């Protein structure tokens, strides 16, 4: 996985790596130790009793009775200013405007806490492709040559092989389909290794999954899903946020929340006149 810093940032190279390379890059130095510690403390507090939250790709763990060892914390924007700082970081905004279009939005911002002994996930692809195990429910000809997803993982604890660092198959984003057992994912995968403060940016069509945590410490990360402006978000964030947050949102945050794109709209009640076109 190619590594970048703010000083070595190359937006075009990153976009090409996401589309045509391994499908993932690591960027270090975007967040301060204080931001990482703040985010981790909030997630740990909210996840102490969060074992009953909805999660995904944990069917085997649910059957085995170990699903509580992976804990999600949703609606992070309402839980601390640090998460707004992370979601709208200028470097990420710069890259994603190139990758997803200048008016891209945020589909979700959540945390994943994997406790010691926590199980791994089913290899998968991410929203809006994550149910591609039922390809007949998607349009014919849909493929990965144009992105409708970008994923960011902000690492809060050491991501090592022992702690369950995310596994991925480099180059698998080039063919949009759900991984099968015959693909031998675990024989082909690499790991998204990193230290607290590192940020992994990847195209969510890349086959990936969390691996079992065999260490003696938690493995926390902030997970952010970004989408083109016209894709329905995963989380209904405006509905879950206080009105005061919405009233004070920055221009970038308003874009991320989808306020710049008016649809769906009750067009029968919309302001009269020409609303779309070149002129």
The string over 70-98, giving b where at least 16 C-beta atoms fall within 10 Å of a residue's C-beta and e elsewhere, is bbbbbbbbebbebbbebbbbebbbebbee
d(C-alpha 227, C-alpha 204), whole Å: 10
Please list the pLDDT of the chain residue by residue as tens digits (279 residues). 999 999 999 999 999 999 999 999 999 999 999 999 999 999 999 988 655 654 665 555 555 655 667 888 999 999 999 999 999 999 999 999 999 999 999 999 999 999 999 888 899 999 999 999 999 999 999 999 999 999 999 999 999 999 999 999 999 999 999 999 999 999 999 999 999 999 999 999 999 999 999 999 999 999 999 999 999 999 999 999 999 999 999 999 999 999 999 888 898 898 898 888 887
Residue 154 near residue 222, CB atoms below 8 Å: yes
**Which single residue is written with the structure tokens 């945050």?**
253
Strands, E, within 118-182: which ranges?
150-155, 167-168
pLDDT at 55: 62
CATH of span 2-260: 2.60.120.620
What the block records as the tokens of 142 is 């849909």
The domain locations on the chain are: 2-260
What the block records as the tokens of 93 is 């905004």
Question: What order do you get walking across the sheet with 208-209 strand by strand?
Answer: 190-191, 167-168, 208-209
């Amino acid at each position: 996985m190619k590594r970048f810093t703010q000083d070595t940032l190359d937006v075009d190279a990153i976009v090409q790596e996401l589309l045509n390379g391994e499908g993932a890059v690591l960027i270090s130095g975007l967040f301060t130790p204080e931001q990482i510690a703040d985010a981790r403390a909030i997630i740990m507090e909210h996840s102490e009793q969060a074992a009953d939250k909805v999660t995904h790709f944990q069917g085997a763990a649910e059957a085995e009775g170990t699903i509580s060892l992976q804990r999600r914390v949703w609606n992070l924007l309402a839980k601390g200013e640090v998460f707004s700082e992370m979601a709208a970081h200028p470097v990420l905004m710069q890259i994603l405007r190139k990758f997803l279009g200048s008016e891209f939005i945020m589909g979700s911002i959540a945390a994943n806490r994997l406790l010691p002994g926590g199980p791994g996930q089913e290899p998968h692809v991410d929203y809006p492709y994550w149910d591609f195990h039922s390809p007949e429910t998607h349009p014919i000809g849909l493929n990965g040559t144009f992105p409708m997803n970008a994923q960011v993982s902000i690492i809060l604890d050491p991501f090592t092989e022992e702690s369950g660092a995310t596994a991925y198959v480099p180059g698998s984003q080039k063919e949009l389909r759900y991984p099968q057992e015959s693909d031998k994912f675990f024989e082909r995968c690499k790991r998204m290794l990193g230290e607290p403060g590192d940020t992994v940016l990847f195209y969510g069509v890349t086959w990936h999954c969390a691996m079992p945590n065999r260490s003696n410490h938690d493995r926390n990360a902030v997970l952010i899903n970004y989408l083109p402006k016209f894709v329905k978000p995963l989380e209904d964030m405006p509905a879950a946020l206080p009105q005061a947050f919405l009233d004070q949102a920055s221009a970038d945050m308003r874009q991320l929340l989808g306020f710049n794109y008016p649809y769906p709209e009750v067009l029968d009640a919309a302001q009269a006149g020409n609303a779309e076109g070149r002129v």
